[in-house]
Each structure stands twice: as structure tokens, then as C-alpha cells.
Copies of this chain bind each other. A is one copy, B any other.
Amino acid sequence: MAEGVTRLIQGGVTSAQGFAAAGVHCGIKAQKKDLALVVSRVPAAAAGVFTTNKVKAAPVLLDMERVRSGQGQAVLLNSGNANACTGEQGMRDAREMARLAGEHLQMVEDLVYICSTGPIGVPLPMDAVRRGIPEAVRHLGADGTAAAEAILTTDTVSKTGAVQVTVGSQVVTVGGMSKGAGMIHPQMATTLSVLTTDASVAPAVLNSALRRAADGSFNRITVDGDRSTNDTILIFANGEAGAPEITGPGDALDAFQAALSVLTGGLARAIARDGEGATKLVEITVAGAQTEEDAERAARAVANSLLVKTSIHGAGAHWGRIMAAVGYSGVDVEPDRIAVKIGPVVVAERGAGVGGPERLEEAGEHLAGENVQVTVDLGVGRGEATVWTCDLSEEYVKENAGELS
């Protein structure tokens, strides 16, 4: 494999050397797996990106504390309960989880991170968690499948992936798992993701590589515009591939960054496609903006518009709703320069419709598919950005109007 060329492989959070994982049912949920553990054989460089929501769950506050050291060795994750808005008890519970995991793993507890996801405002059933931790430790192994299942909430499928790239003469692997669905949004806020690599990367470099990868992936997806109290992306780099440490800019960092970005891009699109009730992956590109920031802002407005999302669900080529969303995005536009393309079909130019009913029918055929592309050209510059979202279906409403889940 040529240096810097990335290669997707089957795999996940245990694909990189020196990582093991487990996923068990401990009783937070009635039946499904609800506790996951990811462990590195040796202490690793660690970095994290956390929700920008000012109301942060206890485990987020704990991890933000931990990550300052730049070190980590394990993550314990539970689904079925967010441990958010749980006051001081929530913080005590998160700390106890880390302490117990450290004990059973015979590991410094400061190297243990915690992630939680599920309903907000409900105290953690700690008896179940206490029973589950030793069981998860007993189940640690080379297969990451159960761990990826144990972190799901309303997701319909597991999201895992792995990428290899040659750094120097050494092949390194970056793998990971995510949970998403519902409550996924711009501004970092997104989901739980645990990424692992056997590359050796200095903590500060790992931190900026993770931020760059997240900016082009997890931060560019949006399902319902809400930002969660618990969103967390963690990465551990344990150096077990034996490649030289990446300490700053250069070919090695470029290769690692490419692999990491391919992985996070794939995981992010998998999350968007699996938004609650979603039937389509929708890619919104805004080009011709004055700046990339403007392009992103306009693309987000389109991606978050309920009217756009419902019309895509119904495969109706209502390009006027797209124009309207661009118009209220806050971005400076000249309406009579805007062009809109749905898939390959130009439906509006210079701010007005072109091509008549046949054209709209053709665009509707594109919208009926599972992969939808919408492109808006603002015609005022060279800024361009893409965001990913899904359609909005009746199913979304049913899921979220239902029981605590």
C-alpha cells in the first residue's frame, strides 16, 4: 500500500492493534445490551470533542476533566440513561463507574472515560451498572460487534468502520464505532463516537487532528436541530503498530489525518442516514457563497428546514422552500442570482423556476431515491460547503411522541 493512500477495511473499534471491547446487558434497559467497554492494552494518547450545550451530562463533565491529561486507556459507555440533569448524584455516579471499571481492569481510574446516552433527568440504576462492569470486563475480546450494539438507542443499525493507511513504512489502523439517531446537530453536537488507532500520535497533535476530522464530518450532520447534553467523540492512540510517533505537520500526519477523516466521514453519513424515522440520506451543498462560513450557514438552514425535509420525504421538488431557507439563513444573498439543482436536474436559475412541470417531475424521481443531493449556487463567490441530513417522516414524530426511550 503506497504511503498516504487510505484503505477501508471491515472492522470497528477493535481493528487497531492492542484494543479489546465488550458489550453486555446489565439491566438499565429491559432486554437489549446496554453497557459497552473499550480498552487499550497500554495507556494511550487521548483526545475528545464534547457537546457545546451548556447543560452537560455528568459523564461529559468528567471526560472534559480527564482529557486535559492527554491520556486514556478505557471507555465505559452505557445506553438507556443519559445521566444528564441528575445533579450531584449524577456526578457521583459517573465517578463511581470510572472507579469500578479501573478496579476491575486493574488500571488507574483517571485513565477511564465514561459516556452515557438515553433519557435525560433519570437517576442511573447504579445496582445494574455495578453488576455490569465486572461482566463487561470478563467479556473483553477482539470482536467489537457487541460493544457497537450496546451503545445504540433509537438507532436501527450499528455504525462501525475502520481505515488503514501507511505511515512511514508501517501500516496503521484507525477504527471506531458511533451511535446517533435523533438529537443530532451542527456545532459539534452529534452523537457518541469512540475512535481507536494503533498509530502513535502526540496528544496535542491527536487533539487537532480529531477536531479537524470532526469539523468535516460529525459537525456537518444534522437530524433535528437539537443538540444533546451528552455528545462526545473520544479517540485513543496507543502506538501499538510500532510506527514512529507523529509529533507535528508532515507526510505522516497528512496520512493519519486522511485516514481519520475518511473514517469520521463514513460514520457521520451512517448516522445521518439512520436519523430517527429517516428513509433517505440527504446531502446539501451550497456553492458560490462569499465565504465557506456563509456556504455552511446556508446549507445548515436548508438541512434544518422542516418544510424542506418533509418535501424530500414526499419526493416533491419544492425548490421554493429551499430558496426560502437560504433567504432566512442570515447569509447575504442576491435572490435573482440563486440557482437550485435537485440531483442532476436544474430546477431554478436566477431566482426563478426553469423547465416547467416535466423538469419538476424529473427532480421528483431523484428525490424518490435513497440518496438525495441538493445543490444551491448563490452566484456571489467561491465559498462552498456540504452538510448531511435525512428526511423527516411521520415515523420521527411517532418515535419522539412515544414513551421515554
Interface residues in chain A, defined as those with a beta carbon under 8 Å from any beta carbon in chain B: 52-56, 82, 84-87, 89-90, 119-123, 182-183, 185, 187, 189, 224-229, 304-307, 310-311, 313-314, 316, 318-321, 323-328, 331-333, 335-336, 338, 348, 350-353, 392-394, 396-398, 400-404
Contacts and interface: CB of A to CB of B under 8 A. Distances in A.
A120 B189 CA distance: 33
Given A397-B394, A398-B394, A85 B352 contact: yes
Nearest to A338: B55
Q: Is the interface of A mostly helix, strand, loop or mixed?
A: loop
Contacts of A401: 310-311, 313-314, 316, 393
Contacts of A189: 328
Contact of A55 (B122, B224, B313, B333): B333
Contacts of A320: 82, 84-85, 119-122, 229
Contacts of A397: 310, 313, 392-394, 396-397
A350 B87 CA distance: 8
A131 to B, nearest CB: 23
A318 B404 CA distance: 8
A54 B121 contact: no
A298 B323 CA distance: 27
A57 to B, nearest CB: 10
Given A55-B335, A84-B324, A182-B307, 6 more contacts: A55-B327, A85-B335, A225-B305, A226-B306, A229-B324, A396-B397
Given A84-B320, A328-B52, A328-B54, A121 B353 contact: yes
